[in-house]
Amino acid sequence: MPGAAPFGVNLIVHKSNPRLDADLELIVRHQVPLVITSLGAIADLVQVVQGYGGLVFHDVTNVRHAEKALEAGVDGLIAVAAGAGGHAGTMSPFALVDEIRRFFQGPLALSGAITRGHQIAAAQMMGADLAYIGSHFIASEESLASPAQKDMVIGAGPADIVYTDRVTGVGANFLRPSLEAATLPEPHGALSVSEEAKAWKTIWSAGHGVGATTAVQPARSICERLIAEYQAALQSE
C-alpha cells in the first residue's frame, strides 16, 4: 500500500474466534505489514503473513509462551509485563526481558505501564528494542473508547487497577469502578472470543500507567511529548 502510514492489526488466534479466517483473508489482501497475534501462535498463519513479506509479532507473558511462539516462526516478541492493560503478565519487566534475551536476540518490544519517553529509553537499556503502549492511548481523541471510559481512565490511579481472572477466565487488569458497577459471573473457564468481546465492552481494562493520563489529547500530541522526553533522556545519559 504505497504512501500509507505504517500500520498493523491485532489478531486473536484462538479456535473460538469466528472471524479469524475472514480477518486473515483481509490481512493478505491488504498486505498488512505487521500482524500482532495473541493467545495462540500458529505456524501456518505465520507462514501466510511472511509469504507476502509481512511480519508477525506475538504477545507473551512468560518464557514458555515465548519459546512456543518462536517455534511457530514469529519474527518478533512483545513482552507483556506486570501492570499492563488487558491480559497482563505477572512478571517484572526486568526479569521478563532478561529471561527472553537469553534465547532470543531478534526484535523484542516491552509493554506494561509505559507512558513517558524516558521509560521508552529505559526499556531499551533493559534489553528491549521497542516500547509498546496501550492504556495511555485510551484517552486519545482518536480512540473509540466511550467518553465515560476516557473519563474513568483520566480519574484513575494505579490503586484503582485490579488484576483478576473473574472477567475473562484469564488474569487481566481492570478499572475498579467499572468492576464494581458490573455483576461478575461466578468463577469460570476461559470465555469464547465473542463472549470475551462483550466482557471487555462492559468492564473496562487499563494498566498501572493510568495515573499519567490526565486529559483527552490528540494522539499526535501524546506522540510528540513521548518523542521529546525520549530524546531528552538519551541526551542526559
Q: Which three cell numbers stand for residue 34?
A: 505487521
Kindly state whether residue 109 participates in binding ligand FMN, applying the rule CB under 6 A: no
Q: Which residues contact residue 191 at a Cβ distance below 8 angstroms, ignoring those fewer than 6 apart?
A: 168, 169, 199
Kindly state whether residue 38 participates in binding ligand FMN, applying the rule CB under 6 A: yes
For ligand FMN, the closer CB: 60 or 186 = 60
Q: What separation in angstroms does the CA of 102 have from each of 5, 66, 98?
A: 34, 11, 7
Q: Which three cell numbers stand for residue 10?
A: 491485532
- Of 184-213, binders to ligand FMN (CB under 6 A) are 205-207, 209
Kindly state whether residue 85 participates in binding ligand FMN, applying the rule CB under 6 A: yes
Kindly state whether residue 135 participates in binding ligand FMN, applying the rule CB under 6 A: yes
Q: What separation in angstroms does the CA of 119 have from each of 201, 227, 229?
A: 29, 11, 9
Q: Which of 81, 66, 91 is nearest to 112 (CA)?
A: 81
Closest contact distance (angstroms) between CB of 145 and ligand FMN is 7
Kindly state whether residue 114 participates in binding ligand FMN, applying the rule CB under 6 A: yes
Closest contact distance (angstroms) between CB of 206 and ligand FMN is 5
Kindly state whether residue 35 participates in binding ligand FMN, applying the rule CB under 6 A: no
Long-range contacts of 17-26 (CB under 8 A, 24+ apart): 17/193, 18/193, 18/194, 19/193, 24/48
Kindly state whether residue 113 participates in binding ligand FMN, applying the rule CB under 6 A: yes
For ligand FMN, the closer CB: 69 or 133 = 133
Residues at the site binding ligand FMN, with contacts judged by CB under 6 A: 10, 38, 59, 80, 84-86, 111-114, 132-136, 205-207, 209
